Amino acid sequence: MFFTYLRRELRRRRKAALVVASGLALGIALVIVVNSVSSGMNQAQGKVLESLYGLGTDLTVTKAQERPEDGAAPQRPRFEFKGKEEGEEQSSDRLMVQGFQTLADSTVATVGRQPGVDRAVGGLSLVNLKINGEFARGKIQRAQPQPAQPGTGNDGTGNGGSGGGSGPGDTVTGGGAAFDVDSFTLYGTDVTAPDLGPLTTSTVSQGRTFKTTETDAKVAVVDSAHAQKQGLALGDELTVKGVKFEVIGIATADRGQAAAQVYLPLKQAQTLSASAAEITTIYVKATDSTRIDAVKTAIQKNVTGTTVTTSADLAQTVSGSLDTASDLASDVGKWLSYAVLLAAVLVAGLLTSSAVTRRVREFGTLKALGWTSGRVTRQVVGEALVNGVIGGALGIAVGLAGAYAVTAASPTLTAELGSSGGAFGGGRGGMIFGGGPAGTAAGKTVDIALSAPVSVTTVGLAVLLALGGGLVAGAFGAWRASRLRPADALRRVE
């Protein structure tokens, strides 16, 4: 009897049922799309941060920025040129530590002993800068001599003129200097931990990566963009500070720019830069990704003079369209979708309550025939619940279609990564001096294709909202229906 009456009433009130179901469907579809886009934003931000840290890295540790003494100038690169003859080439080749601040490599073991730390490896971030060119000496153009006055010498002073130097009116023409600046970034990598460190931000597309036994070998992995620019191929030789390295692999950055243009074994990088037993960055993997904040606190407490950076810290430096879209999806989008859903539930409740008002004679007659208030209530709630199920099914279908459309369109968002380090640019290769990933990311821009993955949790949430909306809407009408008396039906009899 319940289902027979339910089916007849829904068929008789198709338009009203369709309006209620459509309102719920719109709200549920918005919830699915916004939650899916928000999830895609989180994944995109995770990919951006992976392009800095590398896969598997949870934290990085760098030396804390030291405040210069009063009156002391900040440390800057210095270049010295020995005096040579005019036209003879001058050159200076420097391999400098990014940020000019390092940690003792023994700090890696100290960090590795902290609670919650699974593994820790060190890296040395460097910049190779080569300046070469020549000076040209200027020439003095003598001014025209003035006629001598009586009683004076040739120089107009009463003394005999001197042959050397320049006099009043003489000019210097020509001369100057022409120098070429070439630079590239270099990273000393701990080859014994190939799955942790700066090289994990790239994939070796040609050749191979380092072997764990090549701790002091003269081999190099080169970023694909730098290799193309310099015309390097597998088996070629790359010269750094006069030392030749064999190119054994070409690496392609997974997203955005690579961590460095050239990767060397850590020991070789330390030797070339005169940074024995020194590193700039420690890459840390936590035993539990949910305890990263606790690991950060432990390192800060027990390893003094360091700065600990997590992915959450780096996320605060992300700007650009990705950050803007993420804020809109998280703040405006979610609240808007829930507001629309709430409005749809309220409208459904009002429509159900209004329908009960129009059915006073019907329900009063049913009560007169022996229907209890509970049975009438269950009938009204059942009709509203079916409307909710229909609205939920439509909403899920529309929401999935919307999420698929976003993924298919794959709009490109740009993430601009901030930096705490200063920048020093020059020549054909840009240079950045800063400690750790945040420093090396100065001015780094990453393009990410947005997707809208729909999780089982999101679909489950949609089902619960549909059922909840139907029940809330039914509650309005059920409350009205339960208060009806058989006498009300008699008042409506014409």
Express each pLDDT in 245-255 by its tens digit.
999 999 998 76
Predicted local distance difference test score (pLDDT) of residue 440? 42
As a whole number, mean pLDDT of residues 386-395 equals 83
As a whole number, mean pLDDT of residues 354-367 equals 70
Predicted local distance difference test score (pLDDT) of residue 74? 55
Higher per-residue pLDDT: 41 or 262: 262
Distance, in Å, from the CA atom of 415 to the CA atom of 436, rounded to the nearest integer, reads: 19
Distance, in Å, from the CA atom of 262 to the CA atom of 273, rounded to the nearest integer, reads: 14
Distance, in Å, from the CA atom of 41 to the CA atom of 35, rounded to the nearest integer, reads: 10
As a whole number, mean pLDDT of residues 154-161 equals 48
| Weakest mean pLDDT among 93-102, 122-131, 213-222, 282-291 | 93-102
Distance, in Å, from the CA atom of 279 to the CA atom of 98, rounded to the nearest integer, reads: 10
Distance, in Å, from the CA atom of 270 to the CA atom of 240, rounded to the nearest integer, reads: 12
Higher per-residue pLDDT: 184 or 99: 184
CB 216 within 8 A of CB 264: no
* Count of beta carbons in the 10 Å neighbourhood of residue 176: 9
**pLDDT at residue 470 above 70?**
yes
Summarize the chain as % helix, strand, coil (round to 5). Answer: 45, 25, 30
Say if residue 134 is exposed, middle or buried (CB neighbours under 10 Å; 0-12, 13-18, 19+): middle
CB 458 within 8 A of CB 333: no
Distances (CA, A) of 428 to 130, 181, 382: 11, 6, 73
Predicted local distance difference test score (pLDDT) of residue 121? 92
**pLDDT at residue 436 above 50?**
no
Higher per-residue pLDDT: 361 or 464: 464
Strands annotated E in 22-89: 59-63
**pLDDT at residue 262 above 90?**
yes
Contacts of residue 371, defined as CB under 8 A and 6 or more positions apart, other chains included, come to 363
Distance, in Å, from the CA atom of 87 to the CA atom of 193, rounded to the nearest integer, reads: 49
Closest to 191 (Cα-Cα) out of 213, 223, 206: 213
The DSSP H or E segment spanning 182 is strand 176-189
Provide the H-helix boundaries in 224-265. 224-230
Highest mean pLDDT (candidates 172-176, 323-327, 371-375): 371-375
Per DSSP, the three-state class of 57 is coil
Residues 63-74: tens digit of each pLDDT: 887 665 655 555
As a whole number, mean pLDDT of residues 138-143 equals 67
Distance, in Å, from the CA atom of 401 to the CA atom of 243, rounded to the nearest integer, reads: 58
Length of the chain: 494
* Count of beta carbons in the 10 Å neighbourhood of residue 440: 28
Q: Which two tokens stand for residue 406?
A: 């976003």
| Dihedral sign (CA 253, 255, 261, 266) | negative
Distance, in Å, from the CA atom of 177 to the CA atom of 3, rounded to the nearest integer, reads: 95
Distance, in Å, from the CA atom of 222 to the CA atom of 185, rounded to the nearest integer, reads: 10
Distances (CA, A) of 26 to 346, 381, 392, 451: 13, 21, 9, 21
As a whole number, mean pLDDT of residues 441-462 equals 73
Position of tokens 């640019």?
425
Say if residue 379 is exposed, middle or buried (CB neighbours under 10 Å; 0-12, 13-18, 19+): buried
Provide the β-strand partners of residue 242.
Answer: none
pLDDT band with cut points at 50, 70 and 90 for residue 424? very low
Distance, in Å, from the CA atom of 28 to the CA atom of 34, rounded to the nearest integer, reads: 10
Distance, in Å, from the CA atom of 7 to the CA atom of 333, rounded to the nearest integer, reads: 37
CB 92 within 8 A of CB 181: no
Distance, in Å, from the CA atom of 490 to the CA atom of 494, rounded to the nearest integer, reads: 9
Longest CA–CA separation in the chain, Å: 146
Q: Which two tokens stand for residue 301?
A: 């407490």
Predicted local distance difference test score (pLDDT) of residue 269? 93
Strands annotated E in 3-89: 59-63
Which amino acid makes up residue 173? T
Average pLDDT over the chain reads 74
Say if residue 40 is exposed, middle or buried (CB neighbours under 10 Å; 0-12, 13-18, 19+): buried
Q: What is the pTM of this model?
A: 0.57
Distance, in Å, from the CA atom of 33 to the CA atom of 239, rounded to the nearest integer, reads: 53
Closest to 350 (Cα-Cα) out of 309, 324, 384, 320: 384
